[in-house]
Chain A
Amino acid sequence: MQINKIKKDMTEILSDVFDGATIMVGGFGEAGSPIELLHGLIDKGTKDLTIIANNSGNGRVGLGALIGQRQVKKVICSFARSAKGVTFPELYNKGEIELEVVPQGTLAERIRAAGSGIPGFYTATGVGTPLAEGKEEKIFNGKKYILEEALKADFAFVKAETADRYGNLTYNKTARNFNPIMCMAADTSLVQVKNILEPNEINPEHVITPGIFVQSLINIENPIIETNAIEEGMTYP
């Protein structure tokens, strides 16, 4: 029997996602954002989610839509303020969603650390700022650092360009961003991918995420382009 991580539909790939789960969502703004997986979660109705992402969604599409459906209780991100953000500000200003602000590099490093079995690390980022409050300090070579802890998740929702049935992934340009490290840091990585090739068709030298970090794949050949969707007034559901 052959290994095959490709799932037949959205219901199957999302079958294990549970209420109260912590989910990492790849993407930087819209580039690399797994919009179809997020819409699948709206259809499934999963609630009380903690979302780890760089941003907090635009318009009422993808992450913006999931937040708008009140399925998210907390967002951990670096930048929750965007020109096209609608749903997060609405809930935040009413005190109906929690926010943990993490500097972008610390967010990336906390995620990588979790994926690499490193429970915490010291960094200069944030020293002397409000985001250092309550964190352990340590001096190395005369310079002050703060302790940051690894950030794990139950699931990673990821968008990739090309995959094979083993879960080897490649990405497209700056749509790579947080996706590879989120695959490493989550117990289960669910990946939507534009193209699925035969295992011998991806050059091993070109694989960005080796299949060991990926549990499930779904083929989404023509994903929604967020900018266009928002311009066209799309809302989901």
Chain B
Amino acid sequence: MINININDLIKGWDRNTIASKIANDLPHSSYVNLGIGMPELVSQYIKEDREIIYHSENGLLGMGPSPNENEIDLDLINAGKKPVTILPGGSFCHHADSFSMIRGGHIDYCVLGAMEISVTGDLANWSTGKGIPAVGGAMDLVAGAKNVFVMTQHLTKDGKPKLVQKCSLPLTGAGVVSRIYSDYAVLDITDDGFKVIQLNEDITIEYLQSVTDGNICQ
């Protein structure tokens, strides 16, 4: 069992750097769903050479940024129930249509946080097994989106690997993750293990393997 002294950890990319890497990998004219929290940062790093259309699962396609204080409309919110705006070309739909966009494979990318990701692409991000169980739209997103990107710290706050041989927490989906963006590396899920696409310039492959509970390959 890997258990690292958190004081000995090498500092990885900050969350803005991770967000900009994801933003770079979203192609022009993609339909994208950004999960609540850290993934929302991604929209700030989209370059001007492309246009991305954001989907919010509560029935909004073409979501824009947060409104100014005087423009808040509590009937115009995102999946995190925060006030947002709608951009020109946007549309509203009811919940079944909105989830048909997800479940029918029309959303090109979703970006979600993670508690654990297994070497076979299983994702656990909805339940610690304690408290009131609440899943929201996460299971639909991972089952339906064409590409599932995970944005996460490589280790938990206690220094335990989040990239694991087998998830110990309740799954959100089995074999659903396409790519992981952590503070240490960008990794694809492959038959041979977690495949390094990009390695943080301050760490080695050996170090990455030492903080990952599952095979790292190149």
| Contact across chains for B122 and A128 when beta carbons are under 8 A apart | yes
Question: Is B76 among interface residues, defined by CB-CB distance under 8 A?
Answer: yes
Binds B, one of A42-50, A64-72, A169-177: A169-177
- B140 engages A106 (CB within 8 Å): yes
B135/A78 in contact, CB under 8 A: yes
Contact indicator B134/A79 (Cβ below 8 Å): yes
Q: How far is the CA of A180 from the CA of B59 in the complex (A)?
A: 12
Within 8 A of A (CB), among B142-162: 143-144
In Å, the complex CA distance between A225 and B83 comes to 14
Is the Cβ of B58 less than 8 Å from the Cβ of A174?
Answer: yes
Ranked 7 nearest A-B pairs via Cβ: A128-B174, A105-B140, A105-B99, A81-B134, A29-B81, A104-B137, A112-B96
Give the interface of A toward B (CB within 8 A).
Answer: 28-32, 54, 78-82, 88-89, 92, 99, 101-106, 108-109, 111-112, 123-131, 171-181, 208, 225-227
Instruction: Establish whether residues B96 and A28, one from each chain, have CB atoms under 8 Å apart when the complex forms.
Output: no
The answer to whether the Cβ of B1 comes within 8 Å of any Cβ in the partner chain is: no
A88 CA to B58 CA, complexed, in Å: 22
Q: Which residues from chain B contact A111 at a C-beta distance below 8 Å?
A: 96
Segment at the A interface, from B6-14, B20-28, B87-95, B109-117: B87-95
Chain A residues with Cβ below 8 Å from B170 are 129-130
Question: Beyond A109-B99, A172-B75, is A129–B173 a contact (Cβ under 8 Å)?
Answer: yes
Interface pair A89/B132, CB less than 8 Å apart: yes
A225-B74 in contact (CB<8A): yes
Check A173/B137 contact, CB under 8 A, given A81-B131, A179-B94. Answer: no
Name B98's closest neighbour in chain A (CB-CB): A108
Q: A176-B59, A180-B94, A181-B94 are in contact. List 4 more A-B contacts (CB 8 A).
A: A103-B137, A124-B144, A125-B139, A177-B94
- A190 to B129 CA separation, bound complex (whole angstroms): 37
Our pick among A29, A81, A126 for the contact of B132 (Cβ within 8 Å) is A81
